[in-house]
Chain A
Amino acid sequence: MSVVETNVATTGAMATGANSPAAAESWQPSILAFACHWCTYSGADLAGLNRMEYPANVRLLRVPCSGRVNPQYVLSALGKGADGVLVCGCHPGDCHYVSGNYYAKRRLMAFKRLLEFTGLEPGRFQVRWISGSEAGKFRDTVTRVCEEVRALGPLTTDQRQALADPVLAGAAATTQAGEAQ
């Protein structure tokens, strides 16, 4: 949980700063990708070894298994600054823990439908199976998700609106400066 918060807080702060009208053109989406240690994270590693290029907007968060991804992580990330969330795991049948991704599949299928039902754009929460050898699929997936989220624009949340408010943002900056001293 603390990992999720730290990670998203960083990306969220970046995106928030870019939320002001002056910086609208330079806005960059921040996307949190949960990557299963055994497949997708290795796939991402392989993409790196092969010098493949993909957008830097995606922050990888390594988890032991896609079944470890509590749907609350996704909601938390979207509420705290991520514009999109991607969950990646081993292909069904390939799970290191035998069945983790089968449970994740059921859970996330239902959860994705619930999020979309309550108004989230489908592109903002995606799930993909990427194996350790699919470096190309990792690059393509990440690039596509990034472009889709970029097209959707920043996700509006109360936290961002508060930070975009000059009075509240000023107060926050003063507090941070005070803490630094």
Chain B
Amino acid sequence: MSDSQSIQASLRSRAAELLASDQVAELIGWGAGRFPDQTTPLFITQADQAEGLVYSEYCQNTLGKYAITELSELVADQGKLAICVRGCESRGINRMLKDNQIERDRLYLLGIPCSGMKNRQSGELLSKCMNCSHKNPVIYDELLGETVAEGEPDRFGAVCALEECDRASREQYFDAAFDRCIRCYACREVCPVCTCRECFVDQHEVGWQGKQGNTTENRFYSLTRAFHISDRCVECGECERACPMGLPLMVLNRKLVKDLDDLFQAGEAGLDAVAVNSLGTYDVADVEEFM
């Protein structure tokens, strides 16, 4: 029995126990999709539905963000909300806890160590999983399966490669990328950090975001989105996976993560639920370059 099969078996039995004992009112995991190996997020409330849970190497979706909507619909005394958390999801959960979007005592976290997910068609490791720095969940109530060895991720490889290019080619590269953007806002929808009740792009009366579908407006959206999450990005890579037009969104996010770390020793976001955001504070001894 492979690792993921044994995790699937223990996930199903634990889910059934938790739901049957009313400790948990709802559980979020993955279920089978329409196509072979395809999975989709699954929301279950009955113990007998636990057999529908799937855990394989093709569980692409990151589940963390569903906690916000599901918790808002769940009555507090009905029981907790259980979620499967891998490294990426657990950091997103920490981030949402820090942002006061969800409450820890209403969550039951089923930790799953993850060696990376694969594209079901090509069988290759997903790009978001290639440079994962936390394969094991950083916060959980119980762990299913054995912890896996952490790799040596090259988180900033793509950023450094672009930084070495000259300005004109970077401009060309990003213009081509922003030109493709269709502003579907999928990157915002899946992001565990984009939790504003009203996003700036939806403030039509204020008019931050123009209506035209052109490179300038797309650049405005993408750069603002990246900057809004800059010091909080947990690097789950879900924005880039969700993007239907293949924009290099993680390059923008990681550029900011890298700079904030170089300048202000910001470190990685979402490792706990208490750390102060690097742009939400200051130090009088900060580097000075505007004198």
Interface residues of A (CB under 8 A from B): 1, 5, 71-72, 75-76, 79, 91-93, 99, 102-103, 105-111, 113-121, 127-129, 157-159
Q: A111-B227, A113-B255, A129-B291 are in contact. Are A1 and B206 (CB under 8 A)?
A: yes
B133 to chain A, nearest CB (A): 20
7 pairs, CB–CB < 8 Å, chain A vs chain B: A75-B224, A99-B282, A113-B255, A114-B252, A119-B171, A119-B175, A159-B216
Does B217 contact A79, Cβ atoms closer than 8 Å?
yes
B200 within 8 A of A: yes
B226 within 8 A of A: yes
Q: Beyond A76-B220, A102-B283, A114-B259, list 12 extra A-B contacts (CB 8 Å).
A: A72-B200, A72-B224, A79-B210, A92-B284, A106-B279, A108-B290, A110-B256, A110-B263, A114-B227, A128-B290, A157-B216, A158-B217
Q: Give bound CA distance, A95 to B206, whole Å.
A: 29
Contact among A71, A106, A121 for B167, CB-based, below 8 A: A121
Contact among B170, B208, B259 for A118, CB-based, below 8 A: B170
Task: Give the chain B neighbours of A120 by CB distance below 8 A.
Answer: 171
Q: A102-B284, A106-B264 are in contact. Are A113 and B259 (CB under 8 A)?
A: yes
B8 within 8 A of A: no
Q: Give bound CA distance, A76 to B282, whole Å.
A: 26
Does A118 contact B287, Cβ atoms closer than 8 Å?
no
Q: Give bound CA distance, A100 to B233, whole Å.
A: 24
Task: Give the chain A neighbours of B284 by CB distance below 8 A.
Answer: 92-93, 102
Interface residues of B (CB under 8 A from A): 159, 162-163, 167-168, 170-175, 200, 206-208, 210, 212, 214-217, 219-220, 223-224, 226-227, 230, 252, 255-256, 259-260, 263-264, 278-279, 282-284, 286-291
Does A119 contact B208, Cβ atoms closer than 8 Å?
no
Q: Give bound CA distance, A109 to B263, whole Å.
A: 9
Q: Give bound CA distance, A157 to B175, whole Å.
A: 11
Q: Give bound CA distance, A79 to B283, whole Å.
A: 32
Q: Give bound CA distance, A76 to B260, whole Å.
A: 23
Closest residue of chain A to B251 (Cβ to Cβ) is: A117
Q: Give bound CA distance, A1 to B208, whole Å.
A: 8
Does A105 contact B170, Cβ atoms closer than 8 Å?
no
Does B278 contact A118, Cβ atoms closer than 8 Å?
no
Does B167 contact A114, Cβ atoms closer than 8 Å?
no
Does B220 contact A118, Cβ atoms closer than 8 Å?
no
Task: Give the chain B neighbours of A158 by CB distance below 8 A.
Answer: 212, 214-217
Task: Give the chain B neighbours of A113 by CB distance below 8 A.
Answer: 255-256, 259
A133 to chain B, nearest CB (A): 15
Contact among A76, A99, A127, A157 for B290, CB-based, below 8 A: A127
Closest residue of chain A to B282 (Cβ to Cβ) is: A102
Q: Give bound CA distance, A159 to B162, whole Å.
A: 27
Task: Give the chain A neighbours of B173 by CB distance below 8 A.
Answer: 119
A52 to chain B, nearest CB (A): 21
Task: Give the chain A neighbours of B287 by CB distance below 8 A.
Answer: 109
Contact among A106, A114, A119, A121 for B278, CB-based, below 8 A: A106
Q: Give bound CA distance, A99 to B289, whole Å.
A: 17
Contact among A92, A110, A114, A118 for B171, CB-based, below 8 A: A118
Does B220 contact A75, Cβ atoms closer than 8 Å?
yes
Does A117 contact B290, Cβ atoms closer than 8 Å?
no
Q: A114-B252, A117-B163 are in contact. Are A102 and B286 (CB under 8 A)?
A: yes
Q: Give bound CA distance, A129 to B290, whole Å.
A: 6
Task: Give the chain A neighbours of B207 by CB distance below 8 A.
Answer: 1, 5
Task: Give the chain A neighbours of B163 by CB distance below 8 A.
Answer: 117
